[in-house]
Amino acid sequence: MYVDVIVDILSGETDRIFEYRYGGDDLREGDRVAVPFGKTKKDGIVMRVKERPNYDEARVKDVLGKLDAVPALTKECLRLAEEISKNFFVSKAAALRLFLPAEMRRGTVREQTVKIAEYAAEGEEEALASLKKNAASQRAALSFLASAKRFPLSALNAKYGGPAVGALVKKGLIRVTEEKSERRPYADLDGKEKSITLTPDQEKVVRVVEETDRTVSLIHGVTGSGKTEVYLRLIRDVLDRGKTAILLVPEISLTPQMAGNLRRRFGDECAILHSGLTAGERFDEWWRLRSGEAKIAVGARSAVFAPLENVGLIVIDEEHDGSYQSESAPRYNTLEVAKFRASYNKAKVVLGSATPAVETYLRARRGEYALVELKERINGKKLPEVEIVDMRREVRRGNNTAFSSALKAELSEVLAKGNQAIVFLNQRGYSKNVICTSCGYVPTCEACDVALTYHMDEGALKCHYCNAKYKMIETCPACGSKFLRYGGIGTQRVAGELKKLFPSARILRMDRDTTQTKEGHLKILAEFAAKKADILVGTQMIAKGHDFPSVTLVGILDADMSLHFSDYRSGERTFQLITQVAGRSGRAGEAGKVVLQTYQPENNVLRFAVNYDYTGFYENEIALRKATGFPPFSEIIRVLVSCEDDGRAKDALRAVYEELNAEYVKNPSQFKFFGCMKAPIKRLNNKFRYQVLMRTSLKNFKFRVQEICAKYKSRAVLVGVEVNPNNLT
């Protein structure tokens, strides 16, 4: 037989189908094979099986071998990989990689086997008699195995010594066999916990999701409204109908605690895929899904590629979370992938959030998605009260620390009562935005209404969406003050100041620096949960999902810094962040409180957040997006050209720009912006970087852009297309 194979190589130019001959008859679509490629040996995926070759039979090479007993990829995965390749502009080889655990591709992990020692003597008496009198260890080992029958070889060696056991094997009294052993994370938690009786509100949500003719449903429910229980019930129902399900959560909320909850509820039916597992565990969980033994895949965004068949439901929890957009190659959007899978399987997609993405809510409002709301917390607890503190007044009073007097007072009270507090500040504070600490003024772009970024090398303020350049300011144009602040303050400084203010308080810090290792953040969270600290200082990482019953105070130090990040979504991100962080306070027992510090207390977004007014925020935000022509009313498309040779980069840029410009002049009114410039980071990893940036409402224009760019990319010159990228650097 002959097969079409995609070879696992990522050089872009080799994204072609190669034909090979195969001597056997057991290859199927989706099988992994080893093939000769040039002078080397590579892995590849069988895309098609056929009787006759298309090319010269004499020149077709032979498949070197079949790599797995069962095709690693299902037909659906192959189809999906093609969709992904087409829609996200990645090679087929790169798209196929998404479906395979990295461990499998690298060949570093194989099925784990254990050696088992089996009792193989005819009669115990005779066997013992045949041993030398002084061979005490051999006797003991043989007697033990005579009654145990089977025992792991390594354990037997440890107990009686390797030489003794080895001698018995040599004499044929013990036989060694190999067996597959599965590494199963969290297996000790399988307790098959009973499900909870849903409230009438939750029942209603389940009914709407199951009965709607829409593929996608949005559950908009306040924090603590019982969305998770709704997901679990929907999953149960799908399983009862003989189908499978995928539950996606943001990476950071996939703690052992949450994984444990799922195992308790679903036991072996559920497989957990996350980066905290060992390579071997991930590999085994993947195979359990592929073999059909496990029917629920739980994980961060990459679990959307879980090798399940007959998927009936895909849940995306905290759907607004930025982690669902992959930022490094291959870039893909998790919701888009979920929709492909849903349409292939006629399955449903459920999105859940307390603060849906503006785009998601717009689609729900338009009726494209079914929309259901959960307005109350399950235990009837009120959401914590939020107090806005005007930091301009603090500065005027001569307080130059990171803490307002109100926050200091609240912190002392928490410490006196033996409760816990979270102090939150924004990691993005390091970005080079400018803010006037006297009046809260932030320089923004006149055309785009987003905050400008300070470029020290040019001594200028620049807009990343239209490249407009403004003179750097020395004094505030609004109030004349000289007290301008660049960027934010760091977690380290904040923790230091806290220590000075409250010398006896136990303080934990959580940010990129303290969580270098994979378990780093879990360790910090566990310590805080065990009340080994009074105050947790941290960045975004502490905002999501965590449930600390003793936390009664949350302090948000610099709400402004995310508000004025140079991104059109900064208002949306700020609203989400405040709602999420506030949700950590007062979850059990005592009522919670939130202190929010800002230089712009009159800002709309903050007002809406403080009142938990999502719809108010949404109306305001969507009007702004419409006026400025940002998504969802347009698509931001960026073509990034980079090359080690500046001249060649410029040549490619010019060529791409000219063709794109020809498209632009046909329809200038459909473009809010169109231009060509150096990238904000002009040189990275020795490569010169240029970009064509556009904001267009032309439907499917990205495909035309991709078509044009494909012509000019080569091994040396990278020409990448990004759609609504999370950041422009």
**Positions in the binding site for ligand ADP (CB under 6 A):** 196-199, 202, 221, 223-229, 378
Of the pair 117, 235, the CB lying nearest ligand ADP is at: 235
**226 or 312: CB nearest ligand ADP:** 226
C-alpha 297/C-alpha 271 separation (Å) is 5
Site stretch for Zn ion (CB under 5 A), options 255-263, 266-274, 350-358, 428-436: 428-436
Cβ neighbour number for residue 545 with a 10 Å cutoff: 21
Q: Considering only CA atoms, which of 566, 535, 356 is closest in space to residue 443?
A: 566
481 binds, among ligand ADP, Zn ion, none (CB under 5 to 8 A by kind): Zn ion
Shortest spacing between CB 253 and ligand ADP, in angstroms: 10
> Which listed option, ligand ADP, Zn ion, none, makes contact with residue 447 (CB within 5 to 8 Å by class)?
Zn ion
The residue among 196 and 710 lying less far from ligand ADP, judged by its C-beta, is: 196
Per rule CB under 5 A, is residue 460 in the interface with Zn ion? no
When CB distances are held under 5 to 8 angstroms depending on the partner's kind, the choice from ligand ADP, Zn ion, none that residue 441 binds is Zn ion
Residue 227 contact partner, candidates ligand ADP, Zn ion, none, CB within 5 to 8 A by sort of partner: ligand ADP
In sequence order, which residues have a C-beta less than 8 Å from that of residue 336 and are 6 or more positions away? 87, 88
Helix-, strand-, coil-residue percentages of the chain, each rounded to 5: 40, 25, 40
What residues does 72 pair with on adjacent strands? none
Strand order in the sheet with 32-37: 61-62, 17-21, 2-7, 40-50, 32-37, 65-66
Question: Which of the choices ligand ADP, Zn ion, none does residue 196 contact, using the CB cut-off of 5 to 8 A by kind?
Answer: ligand ADP
Closer residue to ligand ADP in complex, CB, 202/540: 202
Which range in 110-118, 316-324, 467-475, 636-644 contacts Zn ion by CB under 5 A?
467-475
Residue 476 as a binder of Zn ion (CB under 5 A): the answer is: yes
Query: Taking the CB of residue 621, how many other CB atoms lie within 10 A of it?
Result: 21
Judged by beta carbon, residue 225 or residue 579, the one nearer ligand ADP is: 225
Which of ligand ADP, Zn ion, none does 505 bind, CB closer than 5 to 8 A by kind?
Answer: none
Instruction: Give backbone dihedrals phi and psi of 648, rounded to 5 degrees, phi first.
Output: -70, -35
C-alpha gyration radius of the chain: 30
Q: Is 604 in the site for Zn ion (CB under 5 A)?
A: no
In sequence order, the 6+-apart residues with CB closer than 8 A to the CB of 276 are: 254, 256, 518, 519, 522
Q: What are the backbone angles phi and psi of residue 202, rounded to the nearest 5°?
A: -65, -40
CB 318 within 8 A of CB 544: yes
Alpha-carbon gap, residue 290 to 600, rounded angstroms: 53
CB nearer to Zn ion: give 248 or 442. 442
43 or 318: whose CB is closer to ligand ADP? 318
* Closest distance of CB 392 from Zn ion, Å: 9
Per-residue tokens: 262: 């799922």
Residue 451 Cβ, how far from Zn ion at the closest point, in Å? 10
Considering CB distances under 5 to 8 angstroms, the limit depending on partner class, which of ligand ADP, Zn ion, none binds residue 724?
A: none
Residue 436 contacts Zn ion per CB under 5 A:
yes
Measured distance CA(389)–CA(595) in Å, rounded: 7
CB of 202 to ligand ADP, least distance (A): 6
Q: Which residue has 């539950």 as its token pair?
A: 247
Q: Identify which of residues 197 and 400 has a Cβ nearer to ligand ADP in the complex.
A: 197
Residue type for position 623: A
Cis amide prior to 632 (ω within 30 degrees): yes
Binding mask 383-422 for Zn ion (x = CB under 5 A): ----------------------------------------
Q: How many residues are there in the chain?
A: 729
CB of residue 449 to Zn ion, shortest distance in Å: 8
Residue 570 found at the interface with Zn ion (CB under 5 A):
no
Angstrom CA distances, 683 to 643, 690, 718, stand at 9, 9, 13
Question: Which one of the spans 187-195, 462-470, 520-528, 633-641 is the region binding Zn ion (CB under 5 A)?
Answer: 462-470
Cβ–Cβ under 8 Å, residues 689 and 681 = yes
CA 362, 364, 366, 372 torsion-angle sign: negative
Q: Does 674 bind Zn ion (CB under 5 A)?
A: no
Closest alpha carbon to 388 in 612, 572, 556: 556
Helix (H, G, I), strand (E, B) or coil at 49: strand
Residue closer to ligand ADP, measured from CB, 229 or 284: 229
Applying CB under 5 A, does 662 fall inside the site for Zn ion?
Answer: no
Please state the closest distance from residue 550 (CB atom) to Zn ion, in A.
Answer: 40
**What is the C-alpha separation between 515 and 542, in angstroms, rounded?**
12
Assess 568 for contact with Zn ion (CB under 5 A): no
Binding residue (CB under 5 A) for Zn ion from 441, 565, 617, 657? 441
Q: With contacts defined by CB under 5 A, how many residues of the chain interact with Zn ion?
A: 15
In the complex, what is the shortest distance from the CB of residue 728 to Zn ion, in angstroms, rounded to a whole number? Answer: 11
Q: Which does 514 bind (CB under 5 to 8 A by kind): ligand ADP, Zn ion, none?
A: none
Distance CA 473, CA 470 (A): 9
In 241-305, which residue ranges form alpha helices assigned H by DSSP? 256-266, 279-290
Q: How far is the CB of 379 from ligand ADP (least distance, A)?
A: 6
Which partner, Zn ion, ligand ADP, none, binds residue 465 by CB below 5 to 8 Å per kind? Zn ion
Q: Are the C-beta atoms of 642 and 684 separated by less than 8 Å?
A: yes
Tell the burial category of 375 from Cβ atoms under 10 Å away from its Cβ (0-12, 13-18, 19+).
exposed
Q: Shortest gap between Cβ of 224 and ligand ADP (angstroms)?
A: 4
Which of ligand ADP, Zn ion, none interacts with 378 (beta carbon under 5 to 8 A by kind)? Answer: ligand ADP
Q: If contact means CB under 5 to 8 A according to the sort of partner, which of ligand ADP, Zn ion, none does residue 229 touch?
A: ligand ADP
Minimum distance, C-beta of residue 266 to ligand ADP, in the bound complex (Å): 15
Nearest to 173 by CA among 121, 110, 240: 121
User: Does the footprint of Zn ion cover residue 718 (CB under 5 A)?
Assistant: no
Contacts of residue 242, Cβ cutoff 8 Å, sequence gap at least 6: 310
Distance CA 602, CA 440 (A): 10
CB of 229 to ligand ADP, least distance (A): 4
Residues lying near Zn ion in the complex (CB under 5 A) are found at 436, 438-439, 441, 445, 447-448, 463, 465-466, 468, 476, 478-479, 481
